Structure 1
Amino acid sequence: MSRTIDYGNLMHRAMRGLIQEVLQDVADHGLPGAHHFFITFDTTHPQALLADWLRDRYPTEMTVVMQNWYDNLEVRRDGFAVTLNFGDQPEPLYIPYDAIKTFVDPSVEFGLRFETHSLDDDESEDDDDGDDHDPSGPPGGQREAEVVRLDRFRK
């Protein structure tokens, strides 16, 4: 098998690095202007840390908002820790970058979505869903980055 450039994984790392850089800037200087984030993550990720009651309420995924109140934002190499307010109850979270499914800043209509592209047993390569499944894509069903349509976040 010949060597190829794995653009999917390169984009994956670049987009995670972008999120890390944005969060580090917020940790250092605070959220500028009207910027705020909707971050959806996989609560089943083995390194995701959240209170048991939150995991029970959101057994597969959860969307958090970083806007008016957040505390203790600590940006790390593989993820970030932050304390957020849930019904007047501050709760610490640790969200690995690999657990992030979407990262959206609606104030500037910016968003990223990380999707898993792997064929399940009940899917076939000739599905008529408009997506071209690339069998040479990222190994192990890793997520690839793509831009998110912001319509779902508009009220």
Structure 2
Amino acid sequence: MSHQIDYGKLMHAAMRSLIRKVLSNVAENGLPGEHHFFITFDTTDPDVGVADWLRDRYPDEMTVVIQHWFENLDVGEDGFSVTLNFGDSPEPLYIPYDAIRTFVDPSVEFGLRFETQEAEDEDETDDLLRDDAPNDTAAEDAPGAAKAEVVSLDQFRK
């Protein structure tokens, strides 16, 4: 069991749950008013289901629009499927929530972005925080003391 709360993972789960609820409502009731969605997803995700020609055209990521014409919106626990029109050719897609990078509803200026950090990026950030943190060796040398990093918030103030 982890000794830390993974807030990033919890936030991503909550954001994906929000997307699922919104899409479920649209599947049941249609798009209300001027609402429409731009959904960018990772086409390299092994669970993404797109036609080969689309994967060839968009080898890393793809943005789809759910607005005027879409069919067969089926929202599941792990992802959703929808048929969209590409140049007068209907194509079924399956998009797992874990593959979504951004979800935007420009009609109400709402957007979600899923950030992923590589281990290297996290290590670099940790190094930066350590370099900027005051060095309190007395606290670190105390018997049984837990090591902690102190980060000055002054660098973030305007």
Band the TM-score falls in, shorter-chain normalisation: 0.7 to 0.9
Amino acid at match of 1:98: D
Q: Where does residue 16 of structure 2 map in the other structure?
A: 16
> Which whole-Å CA distance do the structure 2 matches of 1:13 and 1:27 have between them?
21
| Residue correspondence of structure 1 range 32-111 to structure 2 within 5 A | 32-111=32-111
Gaps of 5+ in 1: 128-155
Q: Where does residue 27 of structure 1 map in the other structure?
A: 27
TM-score, normalising length: structure 2: 0.75
Larger radius of gyration: 2
Q: Where does residue 138 of structure 2 map in the other structure?
A: none
Select the structure that is richer in helix. Answer: 2
* TM superposition shift of 1:8: 1.1
Amino acid at match of 1:120: E
Select the structure that is richer in strand. Answer: 1
Instruction: Give the 3 Å change call, closer, same or farther, for CA 113–87 of structure 1 in structure 2.
Output: same
> Which whole-Å CA distance do the structure 1 matches of 2:61 and 2:107 have between them?
23
RMSD: 1.7
Instruction: Give the 3 Å change call, closer, same or farther, for CA 119–3 of structure 1 in structure 2.
Output: closer
TM-score, normalising length: structure 1: 0.77
Aligned length: 126
Amino acid at match of 1:100: I
By relative contact order (CA 8 Å, sep 6+), the higher-ranking structure is 1
Amino acid at match of 1:93: L
Aligned-residue sequence identity (percent) comes to 71
* TM superposition shift of 1:124: 3.0
Amino acid at match of 1:43: T
> Which whole-Å CA distance do the structure 2 matches of 1:11 and 1:74 have between them?
24
> Which whole-Å CA distance do the structure 2 matches of 1:81 and 1:45 have between them?
15
Gaps of 5+ in 2: 129-158
Q: Secondary structure at the match of 1:21?
A: helix
* TM superposition shift of 1:94: 0.1
* TM superposition shift of 1:117: 1.5
Q: Where does residue 130 of structure 1 map in the other structure?
A: none
> Which whole-Å CA distance do the structure 2 matches of 1:26 and 1:85 have between them?
18
Moved over 6 A (4+): none
* TM superposition shift of 1:115: 1.0
* TM superposition shift of 1:7: 1.1
